Amino acid sequence: MSLRVAIVGCGKIADGHIEEIQKMPDLAQVVGVCDIEPIMAEQIAMRYRLDYFTTDFDRLLAEKKPDVVHITTPPGSHLALATRSLEAGAHVYVEKPLTLTFEDSKKLVERVRAAKKVMTIGYTYLFDPPALEMRELIRSGEIGEVVHVESFFGYNLAGPFGAAILGDPAHWVHRLPGKLFHNNIDHLLNKVVEFIDDDDAKVTANGSVRRAQRFGDARDSMADELRVMIQGKTATSYCTFSSHIRPPPHYVRVFGTKNTVHADFAARTVTLETSAKLPSAIGRLIPAFEMARQYAQAGTRNARKFAKSEFHFFSGLNYLFRHFYEAIHNGTPPPIPYADILRVSKWMDDIFAQTSGKEASK
């Protein structure tokens, strides 16, 4: 039976949600959309030929009785909307970040469990092809035991989203506890959490403002560079968020006792480090060619997928949706463990406390 899905929040990411849901009619169908701005709800309904849109969320829940609600609104509304959805008997998909604080995230997870529903979060890059390939290499023992992880995520303040944030001092991002970081560093941290399963990991963070542009208002205090060190019991991580590195980096490198794997989410490549196996200068010639071979193979695979119309921007989103819906249908665990979601939320609290001078979460 196909799940009835409602979407609240009709911004740009909602387009991706609807497009991917419409590719899986066997699992789910969109039955309605909601946004407090009437024109936003109407325009997305018209573009995707949906017959129901409204500005009243309670009316949507009452009239369409969705099995699942996708919450794609700004973070400040996530807890209230998710709670209302659970009370109406729906499972919930919540865009990142889950809530504004670790305490609120704990409350939401508790409410999900009490309602005996399934929840997941928009950690879509965890299921992009590079992440899946990297994870399989690690499972196979290719890199040995994980020692350290480096995660990089770049952001372009001159891009359409960045320009909107810098162009409006009243933009909702400026009201978040972590400002720009709060809306983005889930992408940085969620690639690390599966390797540092330590609830008491030590987090050390430093944020700074590198841009020279000043406005004389709330925008000036928005940090745009972040460096984070996470120290667990058996592994460590270094995380970099940058608004100035070009091209904007988006990759993770996992260092193991046998080898190191590099997953590039922008280029959609996964490579293993190559070391010299022959003596002297001759041995130093080989690694470059070996790396070239790996990149050529990755490029060829991507080209083949493209030729077969299998090279999609929202591959990770599609994978996450399918596994989320299958968990609902089959009663299997959600695609992202709640413990990982909460660990990321706590790390974010710790980071924001350190970068804003407040006391860290306990």
Q: What would you measure as the largest C-alpha separation in the chain, in angstroms?
A: 74
pTM: 0.94
CATH code given to domain 3-117: 3.40.50.720
Rounded CA gap, 128 and 312, in Å?
10
Specify the pLDDT at position 249: 97
Give yes or no for residue 120 having a pLDDT over 60.
yes
Domain boundaries, the chain: 3-117, 123-128+137-260+338-362
The Cα 81–Cα 94 span in angstroms is 9
Instruction: Tell me the per-residue pLDDT of 65-102, one tens digit each, with 9 for 90 and over.
Output: 999 999 999 999 999 999 999 999 999 999 999 999 99
> Which residues does residue 153 pair with via DSSP β-bridges, in sequence order?
241, 250
Tally the C-alpha atoms within 13 A of residue 347's C-alpha that lie toward its C-beta. 35
Let me know: does 193 contact 201? Beta carbons within 8 Å.
no
Per-residue pLDDT at 360 exceeds 60: no
What is the DSSP code (8-state) at residue 360? Answer: P
pLDDT by residue (tens digit) across 128-179? 999 999 999 999 999 999 999 999 999 999 999 999 999 999 999 999 999 9
Give dist(CA 227, CA 209) in Å, integer: 12
Domain 123-128+137-260+338-362 has CATH 3.40.30.10: no
